[in-house]
């Protein structure tokens, strides 16, 4: 399946610093976070500009060119509820380091994000849910099939749909965790790619616990065939776990210095 793809989640308008930078189109804070994440080992960077209803197109174009210009056409995931802004971002996007990712579609209101990705030869994150948390894996699979079929009918390659199993918070839904992992295995057995907001599992846990729990989750999910995750790459323990799992899965070649490269 290839090396695990880490999508760095830290350029997100929920952060006051980033929100302020986006409001004023000040590149410094955004570039700083991008650099930290890339140094830590991120492959893709998620670029969440929030709802951005008024100036979304302009803002997304600016952010894409700013980031790609500063970091050798770093591949990006474009993340906003404003579809026009995503299209605007793709119009200025350089694909030399990887296709853009549209983040994200689901089987409900956001199903047209698949059409958007198909029309723009992009990868699409496809959340296997419609409204709220699916009851079981049969329901998840039905959504997956619906979205897969839509994508293929529109001419997408199956590997360009990255299915999100919807990671659930352990504090509250501990008994559902194995279902999520089992669903990742089902995705993987079909030869399909997967991703998702993995650290959601440790939401609400003490700060020092989260890296430990996230690392355990990523290891188990990678065993089940997870091919990517949207995470904080500056979490050293998590990144070390991912690199180690890639070694065990024979996706990267071992050398004593593997953690440093």
23 is a site residue for other proteins (CB under 8 A): no
By C-beta, is 209 or 248 nearer to other proteins?
248
By C-beta, is 24 or 257 nearer to other proteins?
257
Give the pair of three-digit tokens for residue 159: 């590997």
By C-beta, is 35 or 254 nearer to other proteins?
254
Is it true that the peptide bond before 133 is cis, omega within 30 degrees of 0?
no
92 is a site residue for other proteins (CB under 8 A): no
Distance of closest approach, residue 90 Cβ to other proteins, in angstroms: 20
**Is the CB of residue 2 less than 8 Å from the CB of residue 251?**
yes
CA 106 to centroid of chain Cα atoms:
14
Please identify which residue in 2, 69, 172, 204 interacts with other proteins, judged by CB under 8 A: 2
By C-beta, is 141 or 212 nearer to other proteins?
141
Half-sphere exposure (CA, 13 Å, Cβ side) for 87?
Answer: 11
Please identify which residue in 15, 94, 203, 252 interacts with other proteins, judged by CB under 8 A: 252
**Is the CB of residue 225 less than 8 Å from the CB of residue 185?**
yes
**Is the CB of residue 161 less than 8 Å from the CB of residue 193?**
yes
149 is a site residue for other proteins (CB under 8 A): yes
**Is the CB of residue 105 less than 8 Å from the CB of residue 113?**
yes
Judged by CB under 8 A, the stretch of 78-86, 109-117, 127-135, 246-254 that binds other proteins is 246-254
CA–CA separation, 123 vs 96, rounded Å? 14
By C-beta, is 158 or 172 nearer to other proteins?
158
Secondary structure letter of residue 109 according to DSSP: T
Distance of closest approach, residue 111 Cβ to other proteins, in angstroms: 15
By C-beta, is 78 or 186 nearer to other proteins?
186
CA–CA separation, 250 vs 1, rounded Å? 10
Judged by CB under 8 A, the stretch of 24-32, 107-115, 202-210, 253-261 that binds other proteins is 253-261
For other proteins (CB under 8 A), the number of binding residues is 24
Residues 182-201 touching other proteins, rule: CB under 8 A, are 189-192
User: Residues 124-143: x/- map of binding to other proteins (CB under 8 A)?
Assistant: -----------------xx-
Residues 150-189 touching other proteins, rule: CB under 8 A, are 152-153, 158, 189
CA 78 to centroid of chain Cα atoms:
10
- 101-106 and 161-164 beta bridge pairing: unpaired
CA 96 to centroid of chain Cα atoms:
19
Per DSSP, the three-state class of 106 is: strand
Angle at 179 between CA 80 and CA 131, to 5 degrees: 40
Binding footprint of other proteins on the chain (CB under 8 A): 2-3, 141-142, 145-146, 148-149, 152-153, 158, 189-192, 251-257, 260-261
């Amino acid at each position: 399946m290839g090396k695990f793809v880490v999508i760095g989640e830290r350029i997100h308008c929920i952060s006051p610093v980033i929100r302020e930078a986006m409001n004023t189109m000040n590149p410094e804070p955004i570039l700083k976070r991008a650099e930290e994440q890339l140094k830590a080992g991120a492959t893709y960077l998620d670029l969440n500009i929030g709802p951005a209803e008024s100036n979304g197109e302009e803002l997304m174009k600016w952010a894409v060119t700013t980031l790609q210009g500063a970091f050798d056409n770093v591949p990006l995931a474009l993340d906003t509820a404003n579809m026009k802004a995503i299209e605007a971002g793709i119009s200025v996007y350089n694909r030399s380091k990887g296709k853009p990712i549209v983040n994200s579609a689901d089987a409900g209101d956001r199903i047209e994000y698949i059409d958007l990705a198909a029309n723009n030869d992009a990868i699409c994150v496809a959340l296997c849910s419609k409204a709220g948390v699916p009851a079981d894996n049969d329901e998840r699979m039905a959504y997956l099939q619906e979205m897969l079929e839509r994508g293929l009918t529109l001419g997408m390659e199956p590997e360009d749909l990255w299915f999100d199993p919807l990671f659930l918070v352990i504090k509250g839904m501990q008994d559902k965790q194995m279902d999520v992992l089992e669903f990742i295995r089902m995705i993987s057995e079909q030869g399909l790619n997967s991703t998702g907001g993995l650290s959601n599992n440790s939401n609400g846990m003490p700060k020092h616990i989260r890296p430990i729990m996230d690392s355990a989750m990523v290891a188990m999910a990678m065993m089940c065939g997870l091919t990517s995750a949207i995470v904080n790459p500056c979490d050293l323990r998590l990144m070390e776990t991912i690199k180690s799992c890639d070694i065990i899965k024979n996706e990267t070649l071992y050398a004593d210095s593997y953690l440093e490269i």
